[in-house]
C-alpha cells in the first residue's frame, strides 16, 4: 500500500473514531464541546488527509514524513485520551506526541523551503503547501498550552483552544487546499495573477489574525479581511477553472460545496472581528463555533480535502 493510500485509510479510521466519540462528553459547556470536537476532527481526519496530499508535491521519499505518518494514529489516540483529563501536566503530557509528530512535518517543510529557494523559479503552489506544513506545529503548541491550562496574555481557555483549531484548519488545511488547486491550474495569464493574490492572502492572513489576537483586535480584523479575500478568490478560481475539468460527479459536487462554504464562513469571521473591534456584539464565540466553525471545518476543509484525494486517486497520481 502506498503512503498516500495509508494516510487516506488512517483518515477513514480517524473518522470512525470521531463518530464513536459522539456519545461522550468532552466539555462542560456547549461551545467547548463543539470546539473540542472540531479540533479532534482536525487531528483524526484533516491531518492524515493532508498528509495524503502532501506526498503528491515531492518526488523524493521523505523520512520525516514517513515517521510522522507512522506516528500520527498513536499521537491522535493520545489526544483523544487527553481530552478526558482536566487541564494539567497529565493532559499536556498526552498531547506531547502530537507536538512531536507535527514538528516532524514542519521540519520537513523547512527542508522543502530550502530546496525551493535554490530552484530556478518560485513555485507558488509548492510554497503554499510548505507554509501549511510549517503552520501545523504552531497549532500543536497552542494545543499543549490548552491542555496545560496556560492562558498567555490573559487569554481565556476558549481562545487558546480556538487558536489551536485556527492553525489546524486556517493554518494547515487552507494553504494546503490552495497549493493543490494551484498545482492543477493552467499557467494562463488570466489565472496566474488571481492565484498569486490567493497565495499571498491565505499565507499572510493566518499569522496576521494570530498577531491580532495577541496585539490588536483591529489587526485581527485586517487579517480576517485578508484571508477572506484569498479564500473567496480561491473558491471562484476552483469553480471556474477546476470544477469544469473534473469528470467524476462526486469530486465535482464536493469541490462546489467546499467553495460555496467559503462565503458564509468568511463573512461570519469578518462580522465577529468587526464586533470585537467596535464593541458591538453581533455574534459571540458560541455562535461562531456553531456557524463559522462547523461550515469551515465540514464544508470548506473536509469536503475540499476529500474531493482532492478522490481526484488524485482517479488521476492515478498515487
What one-character DSSP code corresponds to residue 56?
G
Question: Which residue segment(s) compose the domain that 283 sits in?
Answer: 3-314
Rg value, the chain, Cα: 18
CA distance 294 to 268: 11
Q: Reduce the secondary structure of 104-170 to three states and give it as a string.
A: HHHHHHHHHHHHHHCCCCCCHHHHHHHHHHHHHHHHHHHHHHHHHCCCHHHCCHHHHHHHHHHHHHH
Helix (H, G, I), strand (E, B) or coil at 21: coil
Which phi-psi region, left, alpha or beta, contains residue 86 (left: φ > 0; alpha: ψ -120 to 50)? Answer: beta
Residue pair 136/177 in contact (Cβ under 8 Å)? The answer is no
Name the phi and psi angles at 60, rounded to 5. Answer: -85, 160
CA distance 143 to 157: 11
CA distance 4 to 1: 8
Which segment of 1-10, 53-62, 177-186, 254-263 scores lowest on mean pLDDT? Answer: 53-62
Q: Rounded mean pLDDT of the chain?
A: 88
pTM: 0.92
In sign, the C-alpha dihedral spanning 9, 165, 181, 235 is positive
Residue 280 has pLDDT above 50, yes or no: yes
CA distance 270 to 293: 13
* 222 Cβ contact partners less than 8 Å away, ≥ 6 residues apart: 208, 212
Give the pLDDT of residue 249.
93
What one-character DSSP code corresponds to residue 304?
H
Residue 188 has pLDDT above 70, yes or no: no
Residue 152 cell numbers, joined: 498567555
Residue pair 88/106 in contact (Cβ under 8 Å)? The answer is no
Sorting pLDDT into bands at 50, 70 and 90, what band is 115? confident
Q: Report how far apart the first and last C-alpha atoms of the chain are (Å, whole number).
A: 10
Residue pair 14/302 in contact (Cβ under 8 Å)? The answer is no
What's the maximum distance between 2 C-alpha atoms anywhere in the chain?
54
Q: Is pLDDT larger for residue 217 or for residue 48?
A: 48
Angle made by CA atoms 163, 231, 144, in degrees to the nearest 5: 15
Q: What count of residues does the chain have?
A: 318
* 183 Cβ contact partners less than 8 Å away, ≥ 6 residues apart: 56, 57, 125, 126
Residue 312 has pLDDT above 80, yes or no: yes
Task: Summarize the confidence of residues 88-94 as an average pLDDT.
Answer: 95
Residue 36 has pLDDT above 70, yes or no: yes
Instruction: Name the residue among 63, 111, 263, 262 with its Cα closest to residue 178.
Output: 262
Residue 317 has pLDDT above 50, yes or no: no
Count of structural domains within the chain? 1
Q: Using one digit for the tens of pLDDT, what is the confidence trace for 40-64? A: 999 999 999 999 998 766 555 688 9
**Helix boundaries (H) for the chain:** 3-20, 30-41, 47-54, 63-83, 89-117, 124-148, 157-168, 174-183, 192-215, 217-237, 249-278, 285-288, 294, 303-314
Amino acid at each position: 500500500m502506498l503512503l498516500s493510500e495509508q494516510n487516506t485509510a488512517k483518515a477513514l479510521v480517524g473518522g470512525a473514531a470521531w463518530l464513536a466519540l459522539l456519545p461522550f462528553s468532552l466539555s462542560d459547556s456547549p461551545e467547548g464541546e463543539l470546539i473540542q470536537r472540531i479540533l479532534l476532527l482536525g487531528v483524526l481526519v484533516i491531518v492524515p488527509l493532508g498528509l495524503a496530499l502532501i506526498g503528491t508535491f515531492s518526488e523524493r521519499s521523505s523520512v520525516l514524513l514517513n515517521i510522522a505518518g507512522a506516528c500520527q494514529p498513536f499521537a491522535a489516540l493520545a489526544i483523544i485520551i487527553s481530552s478526558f483529563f482536566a487541564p494539567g501536566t497529565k493532559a499536556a503530557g498526552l498531547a506531547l506526541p502530537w507536538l512531536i509528530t507535527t514538528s516532524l512535518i514542519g521540519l520537513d517543510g523547512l527542508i522543502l523551503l530550502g530546496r525551493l529557494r535554490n530552484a530556478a523559479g518560485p513555485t507558488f503552489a509548492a510554497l503554499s503547501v510548505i507554509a501549511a506544513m510549517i503552520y501545523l506545529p504552531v497549532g500543536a503548541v497552542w494545543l499543549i498550552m490548552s491542555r496545560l491550562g496556560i492562558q498567555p496574555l490573559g487569554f481565556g481557555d476558549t481562545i487558546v483552544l480556538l487558536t489551536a483549531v485556527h492553525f489546524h484548519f486556517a493554518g494547515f488545511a487552507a494553504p494546503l487546499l490552495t497549493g493543490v488547486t494551484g498545482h492543477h491550474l493552467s499557467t494562463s495569464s488570466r489565472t496566474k495573477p488571481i492565484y498569486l493574490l490567493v497565495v499571498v492572502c491565505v499565507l499572510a492572513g493566518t499569522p496576521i489574525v494570530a498577531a491580532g489576537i495577541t496585539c490588536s483586535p483591529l489587526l485581527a480584523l485586517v487579517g480576517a479581511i485578508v484571508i477572506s479575500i484569498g479564500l473567496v478568490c480561491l473558491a471562484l478560481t476552483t469553480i471556474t477553472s477546476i470544477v469544469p475539468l473534473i469528470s467524476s460527479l462526486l469530486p465535482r459536487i464536493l469541490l462546489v460545496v467546499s467553495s460555496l462554504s467559503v462565503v458564509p464562513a468568511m463573512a461570519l469571521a469578518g462580522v465577529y472581528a468587526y464586533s470585537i473591534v467596535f464593541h458591538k456584539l453581533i455574534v459571540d464565540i458560541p455562535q461562531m463555533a456553531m456557524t463559522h466553525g462547523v461550515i469551515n471545518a465540514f464544508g470548506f476543509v473536509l469536503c475540499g480535502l476529500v474531493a482532492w484525494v478522490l481526484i488524485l486517486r482517479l488521476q492515478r497520481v498515487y
